[in-house]
Amino acid sequence: MAKMIVNVEVNGELQELLTEPHRTLLDLLRDNLSLTGTKEGCGSGDCGACTVLIDGRPVNSCLVLAPEAEGRRVTTVEGLAEDNKLHPVQTAFIEEGGLQCGICTPGMLISAVALLRSNTEPSEQSIRYAISGNLCRCTGYDKIVRAIEVASKRMKANAAIASH
Amino acid sequence: MTTTELPRTVTEAPADKVTHVVIGQRVAKIEGVDKVTGKALYGADTSRPGMLWGKMLPSPHAHAIITSIDLSAARALPGVFAVITGADLPGIVARISETDLTPEEFDTPSRGKQILAWKKVVFFGQPVVAVAAVTPAIAEEALALIKVVYEPLPVVVDPEAAMRPDAPLVQNAVFTETFSGKATTPSNIAKVTELSRGNVDEAIANAEVTVSGTFRTAMVHQGYIEPQACLAEYSADGRFTIWTSTQGQFGVRGGLSGFLKIPPRRIRVTASEIGGGFGAKGAMTLEPICTLLAYSAGRPVKMQLTRSEVLRATRPAPDAVMHVTLGARTDGTLLGARAAFIWDVGAYPGGGSVGGINCGFGPYIVPAYSYDGYDVLTNRPSTGAYRAPNGPQGAFAVESALDMLARKLGISPITLRLRNAVREGDRNPSDVPYPRIGFRETLEAIENHPVWASPKATSSRPGWLRGRGVACGLWGGGVGTSMAHVNIGEDGSAVIVTGAVDLAGTRTTMAQIAAEELQIPFERVNIVQPDTDTAPFNNPTGGSRLTYSLGTAVYRAAIDARTKLKQRASQQFRCPADEVDYRDGEFWVRSDPSIRLTIGQVARSAAGSGDGPVVGTGEVTHLLRAPAFATQLVEVEVDPETGAVQVVNVVAAQDVGRAINPTACEGQIQGGVVQGIGWALTEGYVYDEQGRLRNPGLLDYRMPTALDAPNIECVLVEVPAIDGPYGVRGVGEVPIVPTPAAVANAVFDACAGRVTSLPLCGEPVIVAMSDSRTGVDRSQMVMFNLGPIPTGNSSAPESPGEEPKLATEVEDYCAEDDVAEPEIE
Ligand code: FES
Ligand code: FES
Which domain CATH number covers A100?
1.10.150.120
Ligand nearest to the CA of A100: 2
**B636 sits in which H/E element:** strand B628-638
Q: Do B225 and A35 touch (CB under 8 A)?
A: no
C-alpha separations of B57 from B45, B221, B725 in Å: 23, 21, 48
| Residue B88 pLDDT greater than 80, yes or no | yes
Among candidates B107, B52, B17, B415, which has minimal Cα distance to B231? B52
| Confidence bin at B806 (pLDDT 50/70/90) | very low
**pLDDT digits 0-9 by tens, B717-734:** 999 999 889 999 999 999
Residue B351: its pLDDT value, please? Answer: 73
Same domain for A133 and A157, yes or no, is yes
Stronger pLDDT, B789 or B467, i.e. the higher one: B467
Residue B544: its pLDDT value, please? Answer: 66
Nearest ligand 2 atom, CA A100:
1
Residue B104: its pLDDT value, please? Answer: 80
**Gap between the Cα atoms of B144 and A106, Å rounded:** 34
Q: Is B194 on the interface with A (CB under 8 A)?
A: no
| Confidence bin at B641 (pLDDT 50/70/90) | very high
Chain B residues close to A112, C-beta within 8 Å:
none
Could you give the strand order of the β-sheet that contains B267-271, starting from the edge strand earlier in sequence?
Answer: B80-85, B127-133, B52-58, B301-304, B229-234, B240-244, B267-271
| Confidence bin at B816 (pLDDT 50/70/90) | very low
Q: Do A142 and B711 touch (CB under 8 A)?
A: yes
| Residue B182 pLDDT greater than 50, yes or no | yes
B733 is an active site residue: yes
A residues 82-111 near B, CB within 8 Å? 86, 90, 93-97, 99-106, 109
Structural domains in chain A (count): 2
Nearest ligand 2 atom, CA A108:
4
Among candidates B296, B299, B252, which has minimal Cα distance to B274? B252
| Nearest beta carbon to residue B36 from set A47, A90, A127 | A90
Q: How many CB atoms lie within 10 A of CB B38?
A: 23
| Nearest beta carbon to residue A142 from set B35, B47, B712 | B712
Same domain for A110 and A154, yes or no, is yes
Instruction: Taking residues B464-474, report their average pLDDT.
Output: 97
The binding-site residues of ligand 1, defined as CB within 6 angstroms of any ligand atom, are A 40-43, 45-50, 60, 62
Q: Do A80 and B671 touch (CB under 8 A)?
A: no
Residue B749: its pLDDT value, please? Answer: 97
Chain A residues close to B38, C-beta within 8 Å:
35-38, 76-78, 106
* The one catalytic residue among B105, B733, B798, B811: B733
Residue B543: its pLDDT value, please? Answer: 66
Same domain for A58 and A99, yes or no, is no
Q: Do B36 and A140 touch (CB under 8 A)?
A: no
CATH number for the domain that contains residue A75: 3.10.20.30
Average pLDDT, chain B: 90
Q: Which residues in chain A belong to E strands, given as ranges?
A: 4-10, 13-19, 51-54, 57-60, 73-75
**B344 sits in which H/E element:** strand B334-346
C-alpha of residue B702 to centroid of ligand 1, in Å: 14
The binding-site residues of ligand 2, defined as CB within 6 angstroms of any ligand atom, are A 99-104, 136-139; B 225, 276
User: Looking at B19-28, B35-44, B436-445, B580-589, which range is the least confident one?
Assistant: B19-28
| Residue B745 pLDDT greater than 70, yes or no | yes
Residue B502: its pLDDT value, please? Answer: 85
**pLDDT digits 0-9 by tens, B135-148:** 999 999 999 999 99
Q: Is A159 on the interface with B (CB under 8 A)?
A: no
**Gap between the Cα atoms of A131 and A80, Å rounded:** 17
Segments of chain A with pLDDT less than 70? 1
For B703-763, the DSSP string reads: ---TTT--EEEEEEE----SSSGGG----SSGGGSSHHHHHHHHHHHHHS----BSS-TTH
Which of A42, A59, A103, A131 to probe ligand 1 with, by most ligand atoms within 8 A of CB?
A42
| Residue B295 pLDDT greater than 60, yes or no | yes
Q: Do B706 and A134 touch (CB under 8 A)?
A: yes
C-alpha of residue B677 to centroid of ligand 2, in Å: 16
| Residue B578 pLDDT greater than 90, yes or no | yes
B residues 43-62 near A, CB within 8 Å? 44-45, 47
Q: Which domains does chain B have, with CATH numbers?
A: 3-40+479-620 (3.30.365.10), 52-153+222-313 (3.90.1170.50), 196-204+213-220+316-477+625-774 (3.30.365.10)
Residue B817: its pLDDT value, please? Answer: 33
Nearest ligand 2 atom, CA A137:
3
Same domain for A53 and A75, yes or no, is yes
Coil, strand or helix: which one is B669? helix
Cα-Cα end-to-end distance for chain B? 68
| Residue B126 pLDDT greater than 90, yes or no | yes
Q: How many CB atoms lie within 10 A of CB B386?
A: 26
Instruction: Taking residues B37-48, report their average pLDDT.
Output: 97
Residue B240: its pLDDT value, please? Answer: 98
Same domain for A71 and A124, yes or no, is no
Residue B824: its pLDDT value, please? Answer: 63
Same domain for A10 and A75, yes or no, is yes
Give the alpha-carbon dihedral of B759, B762, B764, B767, to 10 degrees: 180
| Residue B639 pLDDT greater than 90, yes or no | yes
User: Looking at B499-503, B568-572, B724-728, which range is the least confident one?
Assistant: B499-503
Q: Do A42 and B45 touch (CB under 8 A)?
A: no
| Residue B11 pLDDT greater than 70, yes or no | no
Same domain for A39 and A106, yes or no, is no
DSSP 8-state code for residue B522: G
| Residue B785 pLDDT greater than 50, yes or no | no
Q: Is B504 on the interface with A (CB under 8 A)?
A: yes
For B56-67, the DSSP string reads: EEEPS-SSEEEE
Residue B4: its pLDDT value, please? Answer: 38
Q: Is B259 on the interface with A (CB under 8 A)?
A: no
Same domain for A47 and A22, yes or no, is yes
Same domain for A30 and A70, yes or no, is yes
Of A79, A111, A145, the residue at which a domain comes to its end is A79
| ipTM of the complex model | 0.98
| Residue B149 pLDDT greater than 60, yes or no | yes
Same domain for A73 and A102, yes or no, is no
Among candidates B628, B662, B620, which has minimal Cα distance to B436? B628
Q: Is B171 on the interface with A (CB under 8 A)?
A: no
Percentage of chain B modeled with pLDDT above 90:
82
Of A25, A45, A79, the residue at which a domain comes to its end is A79
**Gap between the Cα atoms of B597 and B588, Å rounded:** 6
Q: What is the number of CB-based contacts under 8 A between chain A and chain B?
A: 176
Full residue range of the structural domain in which residue A99 is found: 88-163
Same domain for A63 and A127, yes or no, is no
Q: Is B278 on the interface with A (CB under 8 A)?
A: yes
Of A18, A49, A79, the residue at which a domain comes to its end is A79
| Residue B820 pLDDT greater than 80, yes or no | no
| Confidence bin at B540 (pLDDT 50/70/90) | confident
DSSP 8-state code for residue B234: E
Q: Is A53 on the interface with B (CB under 8 A)?
A: no
Residue B312: its pLDDT value, please? Answer: 97
| Residue B475 pLDDT greater than 50, yes or no | yes
Same domain for A72 and A93, yes or no, is no
| Confidence bin at B825 (pLDDT 50/70/90) | low
